[in-house]
Chain A
Amino acid sequence: MYAQMVETGTKRLKTLEEMSPEERDFQAKIDAETKIEPKNWMPEGYRKTLIRQISQHAHSEIVGMLPEGNWVTRAPTLKRKLQLMAKIQDEAGHGLYLYSAMETLGADRDEEIQKLHDGKAKYSSIFNYPTLNWADMGAVGWLVDGAAIVNQVVLQRTSYGPYSRAMVRICKEESFHQRQGYQILLDMMREGTQEQKDMVQDAINRLWWPALMMFGPHDDDSPNSQQSMAWKIKRKSNDELRQMFIDQTIPQLEYLGCTVPDPDLKWNEERGHYDFGEINWKEFYDVLKGDGPCNRERIATRRKAIEEGAWVREAAVAYAAKQKQRAAA
């Protein structure tokens, strides 16, 4: 996942009659499920939307390392430390991989990262919440990677080839992270002390609603979704994905022996789905605007890393130039 409310630049869908011949050919390809590749013609809006979505996704992988970095130094056993380190390393890899996919669209990584640091580009709202106890490392894997997978499994069929292929690879690793996360919680619930069980419930209480927010606003409040769906960048609506996530997660929650902080959650026999309460949308939009618990810290940390590392990158460039010169001489 990790892409919410991606701006498409369109207010309404064009009809076939309104499209130019190129646009019509393009839409025909999309409708025939032919993947769009970097060298193919594409509408400017499609290109820009994809750059926004893929960069958001890449930024989320990188910013998402920070809440885990908060605990990697305090992991309680060698096994858990190694697992968490491997997960963080995978995320850095996903970030690089996605930035590369984004660059096939003519975007520049450094420029897009600068937009992130200037507050002009988004990343998933979930990473603006703090990780306050060790069980958060389990809950993040289970709920956050879990929510991401629900979205990304569908994105494996997204219309842009390089993005689709990146998703196939990323999904495999994230499914692994999700199982590991769940196992952390399960072990604590089964064999842990009361204090450890309380940590698990506390982590779920704090992360449940933010995890549901990861799917973005209601379909009715999501004007950009329609265009993204027509271009098959998105393949399922926000509300559909959210429902899928809840339906698959609640049985796992019950197996843990935990609860979620939603009094309205109950199985609806008629719909064949779980009903659930209303998300606090004010909080969602506040966090998106920058007013979440950790927005400022996350961006400040990233900006500091890149700004203070400028001399390192400059040194690498200067050294490479000298080596090239020496080889030529």
Chain B
Amino acid sequence: MTQQQALQEYVLRLADSAMILGQRLSELTGKAPAVEEELASMNVALDLVGQARNWYEYAAELIDDGRNADNLCFLRDAHDYRNLLLVEQPNEDYAVTIARQFFFDVWHYFTLKSLVNASDERIASIAAKAVKEATYHLRRSSEWVKRMGDGTEESHRRMQNAFDILWRFTGELITPDDVDNAMFKAGIGPDPEQLRQDWLGMVREVSAQATVTPGAEDAWMYMGGKRGEHTEHLGHILAVMQFLPRAYPDATTW
């Protein structure tokens, strides 16, 4: 893999993870547990899709095969998607929605914080804007993990259950592969070992305050999103999300 290929892959991962989580959150429209949560979750979704657009635009320039940001988002099939498996997991219980957000936000925050100093200027400038949003996202999801974990008996049970369900998707966030290692070496991506420690450290800290128990570090982990091997959910997400551009391939303007 050339460095250019690794860079393309890496930018697509950032784009796809933000996009798919934004898509999942937008499914909640009109269905959140309080009006304040409608506002907050749509706000996060809006930030994520906005970030995805910035990453897709850069990815399109790097790939340079005539496809634009919309084409990358709406015309690639599941095996070409590079998002983390975590973000494609369904909303289900609101505790699952929140735990998914929290695990992602911790990863996202530390990743973006590091990317602000990337040797690649485009990445640094996109990350500089995104990290401000991610800081707020993380504050919000951490607060909810604590409220639910240390709220009522029922909310505690639900949050613990959400941790148990989602834990197996977290290994992928902090287990580097060739692309991650190449990006670190190129002075672009975060130090994988540092990211792993930061992620585990913050998850443990918030879990302790929330009185929930995170999974074991050596637990079996379900991985594959970063190389395009997804859970069954992604195909359905794309079927909905990509419906119009695929049903009307002749339409060039919407």
Contacts and interface: CB of A to CB of B under 8 A. Distances in A.
Nearest to B32: A305
B158 to A, nearest CB: 7
Contacts of B56: 78
Interface in B22-54: 23, 26-27, 29-39, 42-43, 45-46, 49-50, 52-53
B102 to A, nearest CB: 15
Contacts of B33: 305-306, 308-310, 312-313
A82 B53 contact: yes
B31 A193 contact: no
A308 to B, nearest CB: 7
Interface in A291-329: 301-302, 304-306, 308-320, 322
A65 B37 CA distance: 13
Interface in B196-213: none
A311 B158 contact: yes
A305 B38 CA distance: 10
A321 to B, nearest CB: 9
Contact of B29 (A88, A196, A306): A88
Contact of B152 (A78, A82, A311): A311
Interface stretch (B121-129, B215-223, B246-254): B246-254
Given A92-B38, A313-B34, A319-B150, A78 B29 contact: no
Given A92-B38, A308-B33, A309-B32, A318 B27 contact: no
Interface residues of A, number: 55
A65 B35 CA distance: 11
Interface stretch (B67-75, B78-86, B227-235): B67-75
Given A86-B46, A92-B42, A315-B155, A66 B29 contact: yes
Contacts of B30: 62-63, 65-66, 69, 301-302, 305
Nearest to B153: A318
Nearest to B148: A315
Contact of A89 (B23, B34, B46): B46
B90 interface: no
Nearest to A113: B35
B63 interface: no
A69 B254 contact: no
B42 A192 contact: no
Contact of B73 (A69, A78, A309, A316): A78
B153 to A, nearest CB: 9
A99 interface: yes
Nearest to A72: B26
Given A77-B74, A82-B53, A69 B46 contact: no
Given A74-B243, A76-B254, A195-B248, A315 B32 contact: no
Contact of B148 (A62, A74, A95, A312): A312
B81 to A, nearest CB: 15
Given A305-B30, A315-B151, A192 B240 contact: no
A81 to B, nearest CB: 6
A315 B254 CA distance: 43
A81 B42 contact: no
A81 B49 contact: yes
B192 interface: no
A144 to B, nearest CB: 16
A188 interface: yes
Interface in A188-217: 188, 190-193, 195-196
Contacts of A75: 244
A89 B243 contact: no
Given A66-B29, A92-B35, A99-B35, 4 more contacts: A66-B30, A72-B26, A196-B254, A309-B32
Nearest 6 CB-CB pairings of A with B? A309-B33, A315-B151, A69-B29, A315-B155, A76-B244, A312-B33
10 contacts: A73-B26, A74-B240, A78-B52, A88-B29, A191-B252, A306-B33, A309-B34, A310-B33, A312-B94, A317-B151
Interface of B: 23, 26-27, 29-39, 42-43, 45-46, 49-50, 52-53, 56, 69-70, 73-74, 94, 146-148, 150-152, 154-155, 158, 240-241, 243-245, 248, 250-254
